[in-house]
Each structure stands twice: as structure tokens, then as C-alpha cells.
Amino acid sequence: MAREIIWSEEAVADLEALADYITRDSAVYAASFVREILDASNTLSKFPKRGRVVPELSDSNIRELFVRDYRLIYLVERSRIVILGLIHGSRNLNRPWKGK
């Protein structure tokens, strides 16, 4: 059963900030990278456990998928996947996410 993909407001803001940052150097590269992130998130609909459990949180329902150097963090629910955030892989995860 395919699950619905929902982006939290925080995750949308993270994606927009990343796109704005990359656009300073190349709008084409920014659009391509955003597409890559969206494509990766869409694969979670059928393969929700594809990503690993976020080590800092130790909750088997909160997982992450790496897209290049970025951590796409998401919550696995029964009928949907909630994208919680997008952070650079070198950053420590310092904010808790709660499903929406």
C-alpha cells in the first residue's frame, strides 16, 4: 500500500532556504537539486523504511534518507509519510520533530 507524502511547514521552509542558497550560484543547479530531493521523498511512499533510523532520536518511526550531503528526515505513519525537515549532514540534529 502506497502512503501519502506530506511535507511539514518546517520541511518546506528548509527546502526553500536550500533552494535560495544554491540559486545564488546557479538557478539551474538549484532546480535540479530540489527535483532530486522531491524524487527521493516520493520513493518513500512505497518504501517507507528505506532510510535509517535517525541515530540522535532512536525512534524507529523517525528515519532519514540521505540526498547527497543532506538528511531528509521523515516520520513513518500507518497511512502517510510526514517529511519533518531537511538539514545538512554535517549539522547535529538539535530540534525535535513531532508528526503533524
What's the pLDDT tens digit per position in 21-79? 999 999 999 999 999 999 999 999 999 999 999 998 889 999 999 999 999 999 999 99
Q: Read off the amino acid at residue 32.
A: S
pLDDT of 1: 75
Is the pLDDT assigned to residue 97 strictly greater than 90? no
pLDDT of 58: 83
Which domains does the chain show, CATH number per domain?
4-88 (3.30.2310.20)
Q: Return the minimum-mean-pLDDT range out of 10-19, 34-43, 84-93.
A: 84-93
pLDDT of 100: 42
Of 42, 17, 43, 40, the closest CA to residue 30 belongs to 17
At residue 96 the predicted structure's pLDDT band, cuts being 50, 70 and 90, is low
Its pTM stands at: 0.89
Give the separation between CA 55 and CA 64, rounded to whole angstroms. 9
